[in-house]
Structure 1
Amino acid sequence: MIRSISTILLLSALFCASCKNYSEDVVDLRQLKQFEGVVYSDSANVPFTGIVVDSVGDTRILYAEYQNGLRNGYAEAWYANGHTKYLGDYYDGKKIGEWKNYYSNGQLKDIGFIGIDGMNIGTSRHYDREGNLTDIRIY
């Protein structure tokens, strides 16, 4: 348990050290291209750094922070009905820290923690579509 807490604190410190203000560079997902897992803007041959958004009509379905062409920072996605689909953080293109996934009806599907090595750590909880706890896993 202490190892898990230490890992979470380390991950938080690493994530915060990589954060920057992206407010000046918000780009629609359709304006980017991807090559070998790295995202580039259409107008440049350098990896993209900034915020990526995507929408269906007037409904935003994606917000993701990128640094050097990789997801790096907060990411959140929504279903077309406006309910949250998932939310969590990335570091160098990999999920890290606390992650929450939701059903399209808005109910929490699962919540858990991912370590810097990409493995689940700590305790994860899983729920059915009505919000009832169905499973607890300890890693």
Structure 2
Amino acid sequence: MPRIDLRIDHDDIATDADLRLEYRGVPFTGEVVEAIGDHLLSQMLYVDGIPHGPDREWWADGRPMSEGQSEYGAPVGVWRKCHHNGQLAREQHFDSMGKPTDIHTWDEDGQPTDAGSRFGAGSP
């Protein structure tokens, strides 16, 4: 699978009029990563310049920062973000069309900071 390293290849990356990721003037299919040395900070997969697949980020110490899945540019399923201490900070659910269905948040001690929000039909 082709791979773009944002630290090295940033001059060859652009977006076209449809906001598709291009690499050297061509819509990109493959993996886009950012790393410090051998330590991965972010990873995102693209198909024809559109996010499609896992999207992950890590704190500099290697702990997970966020993770989710995109299908043809839309978030689907469960997306999670973590506090630096590793505690879950946010969990947001999306339907198969990329619309949010509910969200939960927690503080750094794991205490809920919401009662669980639900999004109605047509909500952003």
Aligned to 1:126: 105
Deviations 1:5-50 (A, max 9, x none): xxxxxxxxxxxxxxxxxxx3222124251224221223xx220001
CA distance in 1, matches of 2:108, 2:14: 34
Query: Which structure: greater helix fraction?
Result: 1
Aligned to 1:28: 5
What is the CA distance between 1:92 and its match in structure 2?
2.0
1:71 is aligned with what amino acid? Answer: P
- Structure 1: 4+ residue segments shifted above 4 A: none
Aligned to 2:46: 66
TM-score, length basis structure 1 = 0.72
TM-score, length basis structure 2 = 0.80
Secondary structure class of the residue paired with 1:133: coil
Note the residue ranges of structure 2 that are not aligned, 5 or more in a row: 120-124
Aligned to 2:122: none
2:32 is aligned with what amino acid? Answer: V
Q: Does 1:100 align with 2:80?
A: yes
CA distance in 2, matches of 1:106, 1:132: 13
Q: CA RMSD in A?
A: 1.7
CA distance in 2, matches of 1:125, 1:29: 31
- Percent of paired sites with the same residue: 27
1:41 corresponds, among 18, 23, 32, to 23
1:110 corresponds, among 90, 100, 106, to 90
Equivalent residue pairs, number = 113
Note the residue ranges of structure 1 that are not aligned, 5 or more in a row: 1-23
